[in-house]
Amino acid sequence: MTPSWFGAPPVDTTFMPPFEVKETKDTFLFRADLPGMNEQDIEVKLAGDRLTISGKREAEREEKDDTYYAFERCFGSFLRT
């Protein structure tokens, strides 16, 4: 978690994108919010009746001379089954 900023509660910086799973008459629909990720950053596997989606969002390059007053964006690897 990142520290509190101007009295706001701390932010969990673990990257776990939200998913939506919808069943229709004929199919299942899976949607995920994956901002800042490219298709090559994401892996989708289907084994039997188990769908696994994984990926990694890299942090942008930080300049050592820059001063951040807030940094609440999340980066890292995720895996959902």
pLDDT at residue 76, as a whole number? 84
The list of the chain residues with pLDDT below 70 reads: 1-13
pLDDT at residue 65, as a whole number? 82
pTM: 0.66
pLDDT at residue 44, as a whole number? 95
pLDDT at residue 11, as a whole number? 56
CATH of 19-80, one of 2.60.40.790, 1.20.120.1200, 3.40.50.10610, 1.20.120.420: 2.60.40.790
CA 59 vs CA 14, 72, 75, 79: distances in Å: 12, 12, 6, 18
**What are the extents of the domains in the chain?**
19-80
The alpha-carbon radius of gyration of the chain (Å, integer) is 17
